[in-house]
């Protein structure tokens, strides 16, 4: 049948099963939006307050559902406003397809009004960037974009379409979307034998779980593997929920703000099994001393991650779920009772703790956990509140912590929480924010109100840029350069001005009551929580130090008293 380019875009989205799009219109993309209007009963469009909010919402939708998220933007500044969200998705391997429209083909390269080379800009932060100058190639390009986004190691893909291509008419033939069967690398049998030998001869194994275990859906296989190996488990920020945080073998997060138990345990183990993790500097600290007593086994779908940051003893290139399935069939039951007892003694000696009598970030997170019974989707911005959310909420299922791990994007969480709630409407969705982060994209509260998206926004408000100030306090002799945010902004009133419910709290009891109320309202709610400016995330490892050198408030007091 004969269709124009805009009609083909919408038909291809329908082919891919897309039910929700996040975006912001403009002149170059008007043809697509006109066609989207005709299909508004089939595809829901969420008009965000800013294109960055649209890209983060598509990302949150993808993380929460496991499907490909989709966002739209017009040319020039509309397209460039997507860049931070695309980079966020790229760093955390999140499948989104960003569709932008550009000036007409004849105007490309002439500094035309609102022209930008968005494919060139996004080339380093996408799996692939397309510009489609021929309407006859449009359908196949969009189909390819979705296939690339979700295959192998997932990630974002951009499709840029000049405006005249959206108007051009060409032949279109509908294709039914068959069941997606991921292509996995061939797994070397000799590697499997070598790995089984490593697993069965280890005396002090430790399992380190990364985001790849979440993306591959490997939770069941992971639990069976850990039980068979009889080993303690730690995770990265991105790996939260792949292994239950309530399991006795779980020891908390690893790295800069990981538990002392995990940091000490990994430093003492003789085999570190790394599942879908990329050895971020926030995890390893000093790479020269990281797990120096251990053989390291890395299982990852991306060969580029092998020996990139840390040299490994053995690797298997493959999907974590598939590799663990194979290993589970052959691995004999192991017994490491003595090793587990040592790790348990660390857990008892070095628990996470905080000041119990005042409103603090950790108290807020634990109260959210208590009231949601651990069954909420937790989204975060980036900073101290993010680390507290990682430390004090017990994640028992994958895709229940949505956070910007690799890029560390302040302003990510509010858009992402909207995407998560749209994708999972039956779930309670809570975005944990700092006041610095909330300022960046708080205009998306208006989006949540406009589209009746009942998210709960909890602002951990210490009136400073908390994590940066923590570094200034510890490493810059308390020179608080540009980190103090003491002004007259009232976040509760701002929320009310945009049509949401705003609540100001200063005590533990006030927060308990406010959050309990928020759970019943089925409306967007902002809870502005006043905490101390000098509260810190503990434990901490100084940048570039050995992770065994984790210290906390008590350690600092002891050092100062000497």
Q: Is 467 a catalytic residue?
A: yes
Q: What is the pLDDT of residue 138?
A: 98
- Between the alpha carbon of residue 353 and those of residues 224, 259, 405, 561, the distances in Å are 31, 11, 24, 21
Q: Of all helices (H) and strands (E), which one includes residue 21?
A: strand 20-24
Specify the pLDDT at position 185.
72
More confident residue, 103 or 486: 103
Give the relative orientation of helices 466-475 and 384-392 as an angle to the nearest 10 degrees. 100
Does 279 participate in catalysis according to the annotation? no
Active site residue 333: no
pLDDT tens digit string along 104-153? 999 999 999 999 999 999 999 999 999 999 999 999 999 999 999 999 99
Torsion of CA 496, 497, 500, 504, to 10 degrees: -30
**Each residue's pLDDT tens digit, 426-454:** 999 999 999 999 999 999 999 999 999 99
Which DSSP string do the residues of 412-435 spell out, in sequence order?
Answer: HHHHHHHHHHHHSTTS-EEEEEEH
pLDDT category at 557 given cuts 50, 70, 90 is confident
| Contact status, residue 551 vs residue 545, Cβ threshold 8 Å | no
Q: Select which of 15, 67, 114, 394 is catalytic.
A: 114
41-75: per-residue pLDDT in tens? 999 999 999 999 999 999 999 999 999 999 999 99
pLDDT tens digit sequence for 217-247: 999 999 999 999 999 999 999 999 999 999 9
Domain covering 2-171 in this structure, CATH number: 3.40.50.970
CA-to-CA separations, 29 to 32, 39, 256, 461, in angstroms, rounded: 6, 16, 44, 39
Instruction: Give the SS3 label for residue 399.
Output: coil
Is the pLDDT confidence value at 388 over 80? yes
Mean pLDDT in residue range 504-517: 98
pLDDT interval class at 181 (50, 70, 90): low
Every domain of the chain with CATH number 3.40.50.1220 lies at: 189-349
pLDDT at 337 over 90: yes
Per-residue pLDDT at 404 exceeds 90 = yes
Contacts of 381 (CB under 8 A, 6+ apart): 404, 410, 411, 412, 413, 414, 431, 432, 433, 434, 437, 438
Instruction: Round to whole Å and give the CA distance between 102 and 123.
Output: 16
Percent of the chain exceeding pLDDT 70 equals 99
Question: Alpha-carbon distance 299 to 153, whole Å?
Answer: 13
Rounded average pLDDT over 23-31: 98
Model confidence at 183, pLDDT cuts 50, 70, 90, reads low
Mean pLDDT value of segment 171-198:
84
Place of tokens 């510890």: 474
Active-site residue (options: 198, 442, 467, 540): 467
* Ranges of CATH 3.40.50.970 domains, the chain: 2-171, 361-537
What's the average model confidence in pLDDT over 408-413?
98
Confidence of residue 323 (pLDDT cuts 50, 70, 90): very high
Q: What is the pLDDT of residue 559?
A: 81
Q: Between residues 187 and 138, which one has the greater pLDDT?
A: 138
- The residues facing 71 across adjacent strands are 22, 98
Q: Among this protein's residues, is 288 annotated catalytic?
A: no
Between CA 22 and CA 45 the distance in angstroms is 6
Exposed, middle or buried by CB within 10 Å (0-12, 13-18, 19+), for 375? exposed
114 classed as catalytic: yes
State the catalytic residue, choosing from 51, 221, 305, 457.
51
Q: Look at domain 189-349 and name its CATH class.
A: alpha beta
> What is the assigned CATH class of domain 361-537?
alpha beta
Mean of all residue pLDDT scores within the chain: 97
Supply the pLDDT for residue 50: 98
pLDDT-based confidence at residue 310 (cuts at 50, 70, 90): very high
Taking the C-alpha atoms of residue 306 and residue 284, their distance in angstroms, rounded to an integer, is 15
Instruction: Catalytic residue, from 163, 223, 347, 421: name it.
Output: 163
Q: Show the tokens assigned to 96.
A: 């989104």
Residue 562: predicted pLDDT: 60
Query: What number is the average pLDDT over the span 173-197?
Result: 82
């Amino acid at each position: 049948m004969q269709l124009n380019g805009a009609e083909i875009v919408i038909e291809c989205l329908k082919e891919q099963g897309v039910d929700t799009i996040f975006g912001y219109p403009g002149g170059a993309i008007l043809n697509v939006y006109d066609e989207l209007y005709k299909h508004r009963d089939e595809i829901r469009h969420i008009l965000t307050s800013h294109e960055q909010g649209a890209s983060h919402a598509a990302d949150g939708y993808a993380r929460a559902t496991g499907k490909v998220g989709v966002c739209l933007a017009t040319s020039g500044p509309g397209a460039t406003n997507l860049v931070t969200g695309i980079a966020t998705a790229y760093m955390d391997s999140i499948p989104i397809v960003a569709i932008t429209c550009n000036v007409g083909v004849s105007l490309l390269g002439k500094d035309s009004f609102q022209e930008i080379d968005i494919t060139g800009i996004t080339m380093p932060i996408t799996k692939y960037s397309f510009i489609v100058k021929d309407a006859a190639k449009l359908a196949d390009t969009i189909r390819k974009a979705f296939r690339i986004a979700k295959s192998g190691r997932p990630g974002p893909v951009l499709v840029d379409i000049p405006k005249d291509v959206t108007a051009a008419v060409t032949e279109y033939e509908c294709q039914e979307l068959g069941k997606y069967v991921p292509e996995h690398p061939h797994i070397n049998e000799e590697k499997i034998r070598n790995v089984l030998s490593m697993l069965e001869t280890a005396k002090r194994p430790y399992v380190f779980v990364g985001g790849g275990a979440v993306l591959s859906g490997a939770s069941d296989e992971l639990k069976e593997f850990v039980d068979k190996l009889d080993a303690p488990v730690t995770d990265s920020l991105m790996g939260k929920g792949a292994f239950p945080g309530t399991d006795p073998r779980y020891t908390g997060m690893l790295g800069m703000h990981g538990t002392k138990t995990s940091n000490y345990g990994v430093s003492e183990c003789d085999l570190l099994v790394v599942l879908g993790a990329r050895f971020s500097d926030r995890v390893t600290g000093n790479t020269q001393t990281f797990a120096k007593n251990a053989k390291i086994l890395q299982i990852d779908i991306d060969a580029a991650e092998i020996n990139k940051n840390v040299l490994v003893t053995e690797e298997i290139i493959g999907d974590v779920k598939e590799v663990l399935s194979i290993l589970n069939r052959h691995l004999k039951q192991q017994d490491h009772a003595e090793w587990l007892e040592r790790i348990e003694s660390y857990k008892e000696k070095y628990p996470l703790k905080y000041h119990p009598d005042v409103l603090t970030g950790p108290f807020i997170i634990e109260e959210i956990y208590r009231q949601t019974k651990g069954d909420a989707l937790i989204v975060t911005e980036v900073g101290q509140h993010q680390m507290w959310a990682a430390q004090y909420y017990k994640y028992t299922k994958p895709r229940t912590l949505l956070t910007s791990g690799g890029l560390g994007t302040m302003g990510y969480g509010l858009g992402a929480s909207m995407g998560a709630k749209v994708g999972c409407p039956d779930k309670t969705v809570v975005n944990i924010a700092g006041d610095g982060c909330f300022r960046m994209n708080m205009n998306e509260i208006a989006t949540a109100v406009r589209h009746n998206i009942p998210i709960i926004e909890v602002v951990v408000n210490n009136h400073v840029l908390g994590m940066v100030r923590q570094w200034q306090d510890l490493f810059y002799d308390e020179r608080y350069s540009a980190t103090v945010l003491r002004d007259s902004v009232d976040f509760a009133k701002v929320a009310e001005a945009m049509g949401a419910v705003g609540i100001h709290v200063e005590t533990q009891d006030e927060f308990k009551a406010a959050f309990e109320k928020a759970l019943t309202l089925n409306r967007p709610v902002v809870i502005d929580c006043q905490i101390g400016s000098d509260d810190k995330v503990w434990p901490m490892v100084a940048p570039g130090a050995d992770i065994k050198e984790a210290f906390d408030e008590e350690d600092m007091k002891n050092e100062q008293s000497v």
